[in-house]
Amino acid sequence: MLTEILMSLFAIDSFRLWRRATNYPNINHLSQTLEAPALLDDYRVISAPGVDVPESVLWGAVQWADDEGVLVADLIPAGLPTERVLGLLHQSHPTDFSQHPFAPGITGGVACLVHTSILELYAPPANENGDEVSSQVKWIDYAQSLKRYAPWESALLLVEGWRLTHAERRQVVGETPIIRREVAKALFKGSFEQARLATPIVLGLLAWLVWSDPMWGTLTLFIWMIQPLIIFSSTGFNTGALRYSLLRPLVELWGWVESLGSTSTEITDEERARLTESYQAQISAGIERFFREPVESCPLCQDSQLTTHLTVPDYYQQKPGTFNLDRCMSCDHIFQNPQLTIEGLDFYYRDFYDGLGERGMDLVFGATETSYRQRVAMIRAHGSPRQWLDVGGGHGHFALIAKHLLPQTRFDVLDLSESVEFAEQRQWCDRGIRGLFTEMATELSGTYDGISMSHYLEHTPDPLAELDACAEVLDEGGMLMIEIPDPQSKIGRTLGRLWLPWFQPQHLHFMSTGNLSGALEQRGFEVHEVDRHEAHQSVDFFFTAIILLQRIAPDFSMPWRPQRSAMEKGLLALWRALMTLLFIPLIILAVILDKACRPLLTRPGLSNTLRLIAIKGVDSESDQEA
């Protein structure tokens, strides 16, 4: 049974990667014209340390990029080593990479063709004659980040006929095990960790099958070994797949051995040590100072009839502390009580959206493009704004999609963090404004005819003050779009503490449809549309499985976790790895359930999200609730 499963998985994976390999855009630099393209001066080649790009490759790539409207093309030699190309194919389909604006940055680690307009926004790193590892890693980080500056105009380009010299190949791959390991970490990020976990399991299973059932085990091993030959057949890649296939067990085993001893792919060991020292000092001083005194009445209706709704730990970062959610018996408002202080919010937000958590959150925000498009569709259905402000917009993911779909509208982003500065630098928004919305309302008054607050209001200590600021900034006829978790969701009540939108300790207030609509009407707004259908985000069961995994096998490598000996850390890491493997079927089932149950869960009362549009100071008949 196991042999049939493994052979099927290897066959499916081979076909999947072969399709990706055959879909790579390609040029053959050996067949290019000897005449330099007219737009040669508009592009520059930024190559990895030790790599010289042939002139014919440059000319051919420039001509192709100009024809295709590409501003950033990662140049991939056809003769790149087999293991490097396999890693690239596992990361993304080349078409998905080009078409999806939030796709993670990918590079072959050799060279990039970059339009001068992008270089003006994001200059390459200076060559400071650092050590070989840091120079390579710095270049890889730069090449991967280019996708953020050309989200719609980036591509992966295979250059047939281009083979690196022996010296260039050694430089790109790395001459020592340590360099090879660090370069692979930088190139493949999370895929590097997955491969390190999967390799000994696959090799162990294959060895056991050959020993226990020589005939079928050997056939399974053979299918696995010839995967590279299948994947690169009838493609433009010339990676030496035959030799790799013949030696694959030894090559994969040696690659896994070289990967040992590596820690986080996000920060260096020195940075981790500094973080650990900082966090442990904060925790040892006591976390009680992170909380305000509990309030005795509801912040919305001032009624004193409060009851405990939930007590929840930090399921996501697993920082110390528990957080109490109270519910008002009068108006049904749910809020964190006692609420975190400013110092507490700083402590619990740290390394979530930036630092250690930045890459992961970038993937999360990038995975919600459909929601961004739905928000734009709702805006378009109620008017044509000229100046729009996205409050709490972070790195500008929504603004980028909105600018693309509503080119006549100027989109600015306001946020307290430096993320808005990156958003403006990348041109994902027209202007990035850093500050507190409530403090800047007077300054911004009369500037905008539209404001959005998407999953922002629940993070604020005083949501009514935020709505006051909206009323001050917008003139008559101004449009306000708000999207928040729906605390009336029956799924949320059923899943209890495991429901993602409770999201402690970051979510401070949970306003129901009635409470939010009433607060808006008191401030001169009229609610025109309430969507508790399409706004639903199909992640309830997926994150329930993730939370359970986090509870059973927490990540003790985080700098805020209790410190352990090296042996204890190793055993705990092994336990987490084993439990992660066991949870994979449960996580897959959860994803399937989220998708299959969406028609049911998008009904009002079950949906986990509500989205509404309100217009300030215009008398018109409200639309029916979706």
For the chain, give the mean pLDDT.
90
Q: Give dist(CA 419, CA 394) in Å, integer.
A: 5
Let me know how long the chain is: 626
DSSP 370-404: HHHHHHHHHHHHT---SEEEEET-TTTHHHHHHHH
Phi-psi region of 479 (alpha: psi -120 to 50; beta: other; left: phi over 0): beta
Confidence at residue 622, expressed as pLDDT on a 0 to 100 scale: 41
Q: What is the average per-residue pLDDT within 113-135? A: 85
Confidence at residue 489, expressed as pLDDT on a 0 to 100 scale: 94
Evaluate if residue 220 carries a pLDDT over 50: yes
Q: Give dist(CA 418, CA 466) in Å, integer.
A: 20
Bridge partners (DSSP) listed for residue 431: 412
Q: What is the average per-residue pLDDT within 486-494? A: 93
Confidence at residue 127, expressed as pLDDT on a 0 to 100 scale: 67
What percent of the chain stands above pLDDT 70? Answer: 95
Confidence at residue 624, expressed as pLDDT on a 0 to 100 scale: 37
pLDDT per position as a tens digit, 415-439: 998 889 999 999 999 999 999 999 9
Confidence at residue 31, expressed as pLDDT on a 0 to 100 scale: 57
Confidence at residue 33, expressed as pLDDT on a 0 to 100 scale: 57
> What's the pLDDT band for 30 if we cut at 50, 70, 90?
low
> What's the pLDDT band for 412 if we cut at 50, 70, 90?
very high
Give phi and psi for 206, each to the nearest 5: -65, -45
Q: What is the average per-residue pLDDT within 240-258? A: 91
> What's the pLDDT band for 53 if we cut at 50, 70, 90?
very high
pLDDT per position as a tens digit, 303-334: 999 999 999 999 999 999 999 999 999 999 99
Confidence at residue 191, expressed as pLDDT on a 0 to 100 scale: 79
Closest CA to 385 of 447, 471, 455, 431: 447
Evaluate if residue 619 carries a pLDDT over 50: no
Which sequence spans correspond to the domains of the chain?
17-175, 355-538+602-616, 539-596
Query: Do the beta carbons of residue 414 and residue 393 sit within 8 Å?
Result: yes
Confidence at residue 17, expressed as pLDDT on a 0 to 100 scale: 95
580 alpha carbon, distance to own chain's centre = 20
> What's the pLDDT band for 573 if we cut at 50, 70, 90?
confident
State both tokens at 101: 């604006």
State both tokens at 571: 């055993």
pLDDT per position as a tens digit, 179-206: 888 899 889 887 787 787 788 889 999 9
Separation in Å, CA 260 to CA 173, 255, 270: 17, 9, 18
> What's the pLDDT band for 261 if we cut at 50, 70, 90?
low
What is the model's pTM? Answer: 0.89
pLDDT per position as a tens digit, 376-409: 999 999 999 999 999 999 999 999 999 999 999 9
Confidence at residue 35, expressed as pLDDT on a 0 to 100 scale: 67
pLDDT per position as a tens digit, 272-302: 889 999 999 999 999 999 999 999 999 999 9
Evaluate if residue 29 carries a pLDDT over 80: no
Q: Could you say which of 3.40.50.2000, 3.40.50.150, 1.20.810.10, 3.40.50.620 is the CATH number of the domain covering 355-538+602-616?
A: 3.40.50.150
Confidence at residue 378, expressed as pLDDT on a 0 to 100 scale: 96
